[in-house]
Amino acid sequence: MKNKRGKLAASEVVGTVLLLGIAIALFSSVQLMVFSLPQNERAPSASLVGAANNGNITISHHGGESLILSNTQIIFRNNAQTFVLTGTPADIVSNTSKGHLDNWDIGEVLAYNLTNITTHLGGIPSNSEIDITVVDLKSNSVVMIGTVKEGGA
């Protein structure tokens, strides 16, 4: 009698190697697809405070990361009217920057002339509220949402 056991063992090893190869190929292709997806930019963390006084709307940087003004969009909204500023806007009355024009750091204040903004918003009555949204364009995320109102009698 001949021993047939040796021939069966070879086919079991080949089958195991093929299954292992298929599993590795599937795992590698899934990993390649997942890690090749674009990663989103991390949203900057900053504490911004808006106020309206003395004919200006001011936005103060009270803490967190520096913001780059060329990557920042400031949106003023009143009812259906919207005014959008992108980059380093010309409507800035003052920027208390410390020698750099594009970075917005802790302690710095951007002031916008309220008359210019209300003109862009189609003229709004005094003592009305203006919504402010600050957006980081690089990460496409909102940094601040707030409402300001010029003080009145």
pLDDT in tens, 36-52: 888 777 888 899 998 88
Q: Where is mean pLDDT largest: 5-9, 77-81, 92-96, 98-102? A: 77-81
Same domain, residue pair 33 and 50: no
pLDDT digits (tens, 9 = 90+) for 95-127: 555 555 678 888 888 888 777 766 666 655 556
Same domain, residue pair 91 and 51: yes
Same domain, residue pair 14 and 52: no
Higher pLDDT, 126 or 19: 19
Tokens at 63, concatenated: 């803490």
Specify the pTM: 0.64
Same domain, residue pair 19 and 59: no
Domain containing 30: what range? 1-37
Strand-pair partners of 104: 67
Give 86: exposed, middle or buried? Use CB within 10 Å, 0-12, 13-18, 19+: middle
Query: Which CATH number covers residue 94?
Result: 2.60.40
Query: Which pLDDT score is estimated for 31?
Result: 93
Higher pLDDT, 153 or 62: 62
Nearest-CA neighbor of 75 among 126, 145, 129, 141? Answer: 145
Same domain, residue pair 1 and 74: no
Same domain, residue pair 118 and 89: yes
Query: Which pLDDT score is estimated for 12?
Result: 83
- The position carrying tokens 């047939």 is 4
Same domain, residue pair 25 and 61: no
Residue 132 has pLDDT above 70, yes or no: yes
By the 8 A CB rule, do 88 and 97 touch? no
Same domain, residue pair 24 and 58: no
Query: Which pLDDT score is estimated for 93?
Result: 47
Same domain, residue pair 81 and 18: no
Nearest-CA neighbor of 110 among 56, 51, 59? Answer: 59
Same domain, residue pair 86 and 63: yes
In the chain, the number of structural domains is 2
Same domain, residue pair 54 and 33: no
Query: Which pLDDT score is estimated for 29?
Result: 94
Same domain, residue pair 59 and 123: yes
